[in-house]
Each structure stands twice: as C-alpha cells, then as structure tokens.
Amino acid sequence: MNELELSGRNKKINIAAWSLAIFVIVVGVIMMVTTGEKIFLLFIILGLLTVVNVIFYDRVVLKPKLAKLRADREAAETNQEKTL
C-alpha cells in the first residue's frame, strides 16, 4: 500500500486515470504541432482537467475517507482491548 493506502483495484484505477490524462495531453500537443489546428488545444485542456480531477479526488475525497476508516479501526481496537 502507498501513502493513500489504496487497495490493488483502486491503485490501478488511479494509475489508469493518470495514464489517460498524460496520453490525452501528449496526443493533443503532438497533433497541434503537426497539424497546426487549434482544435487540439481542447485535448490539452481536457487532459489537464483530468489531472485536476484526479488530484481533487485524492486529496478531498479519498484522504478524509481513509482517515475516517483509520480512526474507526483504531477505535474498534481500543474498545476490543478494553473488553479484554
């Protein structure tokens, strides 16, 4: 497990999201440079929005949820020790 204590499945989803964002940004830059069309700025913007979404989810949604789970686990262990 890593800093966010992601399970195997969640870790794969996180890696897939980062990979998708990087892929979309790189394709957008390559296509904009090779064709000169400004429409490929949309690819870059969508890739950056994906990055922002992943960071937002990790920091605002996932970390508090994991902190609550960790606190609940510690509370359960404390209650279990008191009963023994």
- With a pLDDT cut of 90, the percent of the chain lying above it is 38
How many CB atoms lie under 10 A from the CB of residue 43? 19
Contact status, residue 25 vs residue 40, Cβ threshold 8 Å: no
| Domain presence at residue 3 | no
Averaged over 41-63, what is the pLDDT? 88
Report which of residues 71 and 45 the model is more confident about: 45
User: Which range of residues forms the domain containing residue 13?
Assistant: 8-83
Note the pLDDT of residue 4.
54
Q: Which of 63, 59, 57 is nearest to 21 (CA)?
A: 57
| Domain presence at residue 59 | yes
pLDDT digits (tens, 9 = 90+) for 27-36: 999 999 999 9
Query: How many domains does the structure of the chain reveal?
Result: 1
Q: Structure tokens of 30?
A: 């390559």
User: How far does CA 68 lie from the centroid of its chain?
Assistant: 18
